[in-house]
Each structure stands twice: as structure tokens, then as C-alpha cells.
Amino acid sequence: MSMKRIALLTSGGDAPGMNAAIRAVTRRALDRDWEVFGVERGYQGLMQSSFIPLNARDVGGIIQLGGTVLGSARAPEFATEAGRRTALHHLAKRGIDALIVIGGNGSQAGNHALSSMGFPTVGIASTIDNDLYGSEPTIGVDTALNVTIESIDRLRTTGSSHHRAHLVQTMGRDHGFLALMAGIAGGAEVVVIPEAEVEPDEIASRLRAAYLRGKTHSIVVVSEGCKNNAQAIAHHFEQHEDEIGFVVRVTILGHVVRGAAPTARDRLIATRMGVAAVDALADGQHGILVGYEGDEICRTPLEIVASNQKKLNLDWIQLARILAQ
């Protein structure tokens, strides 16, 4: 396909490394003498025709920044055919030949829907939740994980001084990857994720056992999508504090884990994916997601991405328990 003009957007939750991907897409495309337009605020901006031309200098000084310089938004109208027709109308009016969508699960579902209407699109796998089929990991996961374990480490330090247990709630929506990996890397005593819920009674008895084994502190990592979130568990503990041994404190890690500067790993995978997305279009490929697998770039049809769920390897849960003894 001879490409002249492409647009790119970031959609859904922002992820550290999105800017590195924006920079790589732009400069790789400019290198091929294509024109590049950034779409502001994701699909919302696409439906409002918010295009800005990007040159090499416009994407300078952003590789080290978290978030996305193009902005992002939730855009429910894009899930309707009428919304997507509006988007297609604006793309045609600007003479855009193809669109690159940097985002997670929902964003790639939207991308698939647009691609199914006949417009050439390529996705780039980006979400801190790591819940997108077709990429292991996605852009942003490494940074979010590192920020999460840094917080856990600090809580462990203060916890040891006071014989406290800290209940830490991590991000991750319905997917427990971030909580489980942070729990293992942070040496948590108990990990609670939507894929493997643990009742408050059971958490309390595991904390009690850890206390009796002579631990000076305990960390419980809870994923935000759990039936019993950190607040619900803490409420239960308040009524049973003397049975646990430790005094329990709650920390909710919300959006702070999103805003960090991307790690080297996230910058590198974002850069490689950005380049690969442009190269895929140059090869005449579209309707695909560019992801990462075993340290290599991979391409997966958006149809497969949209119809599959990434599964968490639950062997890790057992391992987390063994290592907490």
C-alpha cells in the first residue's frame, strides 16, 4: 500500500511509554516521507476532527515523560456505529490513509470495529493492566510494576519498625497481573486478585500465622477489582484486630502508579512497537495489533485480539504462598 498520510492516537487509560511510542511512530513515518497527524484525546478527538500535524521537533523531549502528550479520553459514542462513521468521515476529509491506535483492551476493540468498517488501522499494545491479548507485556506494565514495588518496599520498612501489617491496593481493574507480580517481587505475605479471591477470614488467619512465625511485618497486596477491596478487608480486620497480632494499615495506590516516568524497558518496547507499527503499514499490513512476545515484536489480527482474553498463569499464586512462609 502506498501510504502518504497517517494519523495516530492514544486511547483509554494513559500508560508510561505512550509518548515514546508517539515519538517512534512519528519519526519512523517521517523517515518514509509520510505526513503524520496526531489526534487529540483519543476517539473523542477523532469524532471531533482534532488533528494536529506532527513533525520531528513536535515529538522531541517527550520520551522520558509519563502520560500522553496527545491526551486520552473515554469516548462511549465510539462504541456506536454512528460514532465510528463520524470518525471515518473526518479521516476521509483529511485524506488520511491509515490510523495507528495506541491503547489497551477497550481501545483495541474500538480499533477492530473501525478496521472492520474497511479503514486501514494498526494497534499498539499499551496498558498498565497487562490484560490485552497479543502482547506480553504491554507498554506501561514495567513502570507501573516498579512504582508499585517501590511503594511496597517503603511500607515494609515502616511496617517492620512498628510490627504492622500493610494492606496495599494496586491498580489493574479486573486483571490481577499487576497485583500478583508486585506481590511476588515485593515479598508479600498474601496476594488477593480477582482470579483468586481470598476471604477476609482466611487473610486474617494467614497474617496471624505469619505473626506467630516471628515476622515483624506483613504485606497484603489486593487488586482493585477484587470482590473484597482493601477497604472492605480493613473493615473486617478492625473487628478482629486482636486475633491478627499485627495492627493493620491501608494504602491505596491509585493513579500515582500511572504518572511515573517510563522505565528503560517501557521506553524500549514502546519505541520498537512504534517503529514496527509504521513498518507493518509499509508492508501493506493492517487490521493487526503490534505487540511483544518473548523479546520480539509480534503481529496479531485485531479480530483474534478482540475475541480472546489473556489468561494469568495461576501457578504464580501457589509460588507466592510458598515464598511467604
Omega before residue 137 within 30° of 0, cis: yes
205: its cell numbers = 488467619
For ligand ATP, which stretch binds (CB under 6 A), given 104-112, 142-150, 214-222, 292-300? 104-112
Cβ atoms of residues 245 and 212 within 8 Å? yes
Closer CB to ligand ATP, residue 8 or residue 234?
8
Question: Nearest approach, Cβ of 317 to ligand ATP (angstroms)?
Answer: 22
Residues 167-196 that bind ligand ATP (CB under 6 A): none
Residues 20-79 that bind ligand ATP (CB under 6 A): 43, 74-76, 78-79
Residue from 168, 242, 186, 244 nearest 212 by CA: 244
Question: Nearest approach, Cβ of 264 to ligand ATP (angstroms)?
Answer: 21
Catalytic-labelled residue, pool 14, 97, 129, 131? 129
Alpha-carbon span 126 to 272, nearest angstrom: 13
**In this structure, how many other beta carbons lie within 10 angstroms of the beta carbon of residue 255?**
9
Question: Nearest approach, Cβ of 25 to ligand ATP (angstroms)?
Answer: 17
Residue 104 interacts with ligand ATP (CB under 6 A): yes or no: yes
Alpha-carbon span 99 to 51, nearest angstrom: 12
Closer CB to ligand ATP, residue 57 or residue 255?
255
Query: Using CB atoms, what's the residue nearest to ligand ATP?
Result: 106
On the 0-12 / 13-18 / 19+ scale of CB atoms within 10 A, 13 is buried
Q: Is 295 a catalytic residue?
A: no
Question: Starting at the edge strand that comes first in sequence, how are the strands of the sheet with 51-53 ordered?
Answer: 51-53, 35-39, 5-10, 98-103, 121-125, 288-293, 296-301
Residue 265 interacts with ligand ATP (CB under 6 A): yes or no: no
Residue 121 interacts with ligand ATP (CB under 6 A): yes or no: no
Counting residues that bind ligand ATP (by CB under 6 A) gives: 19
Residue 88 interacts with ligand ATP (CB under 6 A): yes or no: no
The single residue among 17, 45, 106, 245 that binds ligand ATP, judged by CB under 6 A, is 106
Residue 107 interacts with ligand ATP (CB under 6 A): yes or no: yes
Please report how many Cα atoms fall inside a 13 Å half-sphere around the Cα of residue 187, on the Cβ side. Answer: 12
Residue 110 interacts with ligand ATP (CB under 6 A): yes or no: yes
The residues that bridge with 139 in the sheet, in sequence order, are 126
Residue 137 interacts with ligand ATP (CB under 6 A): yes or no: no
Alpha-carbon span 170 to 188, nearest angstrom: 13
The single residue among 10, 11, 19, 263 that binds ligand ATP, judged by CB under 6 A, is 11
Buried b (16+ CB within 10 A) or exposed e, 225-250: bbebbbeebbebbeeeeeebbbebeb
Where in the sequence numbering do the catalytic residues fall?
129
Instruction: List interacting residues with ligand ATP (CB under 6 A).
Output: 11-13, 43, 74-76, 78-79, 103-107, 109-110, 113, 127, 129
